[in-house]
Structure 1
């Protein structure tokens, strides 16, 4: 008979293992000595111990599923419960029970993590849906369309929710995209129709412009060309492939007419050059009226100069803005002097300014009295506060007095 702390072999070759519940039969050994029997079953115990250790490591360090871990635990538990090994089987049972708890804890952690990921995915998809629904009403066709395509790519990268929630959110998301596409399609269809109408209208304008290009009725034809140009701008753009060609024809017809007119007008340039000299002299004479010191005299003098100005003929077109601008500057100065005179003599405005000044003066006097009283009572804090308020009122009063002086008062 042979034994160790965890097992023994009796005279018949039966091998026993010691457990908390008492001895359990491990098996029968007839192939050798009792020591060899115990050694054999102790090696089987060590094998179980190693397998449990490996399973513990897999549970801790890998993403082994709870289901697969439980299957492995049950398999090892069956081997332990079969008592076909000699060693501390109770310790192995304890380790397996702890491992069950660890697997369950990992299961709950993963469940919570999955729930968190689901909540995050739901929140992310709801944000995508909200943005898509906002973009559905946008008229920024290019940027909004690009953003919606980017949102689709983002959506594809998010985890799926439960079927009902995911389908509902996708339906809203898809509906927003469809609504935007429908509006964009309708917009460009209407734009195409508008451009086709513009093309037809511009073809009519081109036909008329070309028919007028040989006219010698310079004034009426030039006026009509201006009207045609205004109509051209009001029509809007035609399709890109037609717009440039139509414009070149339209502009070309005008150029033919205006080139012919320029040839005729060249003969008038000499006369207009003399007219320019006269108008420059009149502008210089008018500028001598500035600054305006005697409004009545300046007004009368300018009227006389202007009458002579109107009697002079045309000047070269490129010189007209500058010389006319000089006369207009003098006219504006006289008008401003008239307005200033009116403001100074306007009794209602003067009365309002005087009334405001009086009110502000009363407020300043009242505050000064309150400050003197506070100082006399030793209430410096109140006096300082009132003094700051007095500074603001005094500034307003000074401004009002300055305005009143403009009325001569």
Structure 2
């Protein structure tokens, strides 16, 4: 009995003369002779040979099922065993083993066909991938100006190329020649570009040295606004000029910037001194403003007017203040001026009305015209506004003439 529990000796017999037979569906056939022992030992010997064949077939089947075997190699091995059965010197179920081998041969054949198709598909895919790499290389060689990135990409393509297998040698060689030609074309175009770039950089260097000379000359100027604008113009020219060689660009910039710094540092010193002066002036004007705002306009408008004129004279003599404070100071001073003027005007009108009824009447007409204009403006009626402005202008003119006559 074999290790798998089968008694293969049942498929054979030993004749009295020691001849060993195997039983098949086609009848008995001689597989050998046994003289070394009992008939049972002879049958066991030839059954073990059959068991070895079964073990070999089991291994082929297991490898085929696991997918680790080469299907084509398995087909060949099965065919070899199948053809040997008719003359095999074994005792066992040859018909059953033949049937099993035929079934395995069919399965192995199917897998071999699948493997062949997969191999052909992989070869086609590999060819497509290499053709795509060549097309990319040719496109880069023709138009790319990303010199470093494209150079790196060509190196990467070579690495990718090495990892693509299965393309037929002839097609692979032809594709590689196209790739190499594209890479050489790019290398030549890149070399020509950098040769041109070197010439351009020398031109840029010359232009920037001229800008430096002009900046150094302007650095001694005391025309602060005009020179600052001129230096800004030189900066625009500098940016538009492009870049000189890598080894000189930074040195050129440092010289150009140093010339600008000389001027702007000098200007800063002057402006700082001026700012300090303006701050002193600001303190003085604030004192004058406080004095003006404290005037007793309501109590004695005439005296307030006289004092305000003195303050205004001093205000002018003090000089300029920081720009950000100018508008606020002027606004507050104008408010005092308006307050004094209104008080004087009220006092004058009071006197005029008392002394001259005609002037009082004309002033009343002016006030009425002013009220009509204000109402027109509030209504947003452009026609009424225009008519009211004309009427008011006329009444004011008559009033001025009447005041002069008086």
Cα distance in 2 between the residues matched to 1:5 and 1:263:
121
Q: How many residues align?
A: 278
Q: 1:128 aligns with which of 106, 125, 133?
A: 133
Cα distance in 2 between the residues matched to 1:264 and 1:7:
125
- Preserved contact between residue 17 and residue 83 of structure 1 (Cα < 8 Å): no
Cα distance in 2 between the residues matched to 1:59 and 1:27:
33
| Offset of residue 241 of structure 1 | 3.4
Counterpart in 1 of 2:191? 185
Cα distance in 1 between the residues matched to 2:265 and 2:94:
115
Cα distance in 2 between the residues matched to 1:225 and 1:5:
114
TM-score by length of 2: 0.55
Cα distance in 1 between the residues matched to 2:59 and 2:224:
106
Of structures 1 and 2, the larger Rg is shown by 2
Counterpart in 1 of 2:27? 22
- Preserved contact between residue 7 and residue 15 of structure 1 (Cα < 8 Å): yes
Q: 5+ residue gaps in structure 1?
A: 275-314, 324-409
SS at match of 1:85: coil
- The Cα offsets for residues 183-236 of structure 1, whole Å up to 9 and x where unpaired, read as 333323322222222223322443454456557899998898677556544432
Q: 1:237 to 1:55 in 2, by over 3 A?
A: closer
Counterpart in 1 of 2:77? 72
Residues 1:176 and 2:182 aligned together? yes
Counterpart in 1 of 2:18? 13
SS at match of 1:26: strand
Q: 1:246 aligns with which of 222, 230, 252?
A: 252
Counterpart in 2 of 1:46? 51
| Offset of residue 112 of structure 1 | 0.3
Residues 1:95 and 2:97 aligned together? no
- Preserved contact between residue 24 and residue 83 of structure 1 (Cα < 8 Å): no
- The Cα offsets for residues 125-174 of structure 1, whole Å up to 9 and x where unpaired, read as 33333333333312233444444444443333222311222223333333
SS at match of 1:30: coil
Counterpart in 2 of 1:119? 124
| Offset of residue 111 of structure 1 | 0.5
Cα distance in 1 between the residues matched to 2:124 and 2:189:
33
Q: 1:15 to 1:249 in 2, by over 3 A?
A: closer
Q: 5+ residue gaps in structure 2?
A: 1-8, 282-318, 328-406
Counterpart in 2 of 1:141? 147
| Offset of residue 114 of structure 1 | 0.4
Q: 2:115 aligns with which of 110, 120, 131?
A: 110
Cα distance in 1 between the residues matched to 2:93 and 2:269:
123
| Offset of residue 77 of structure 1 | 4.1
Cα distance in 1 between the residues matched to 2:14 and 2:208:
115
SS at match of 1:64: coil
SS at match of 2:37: coil
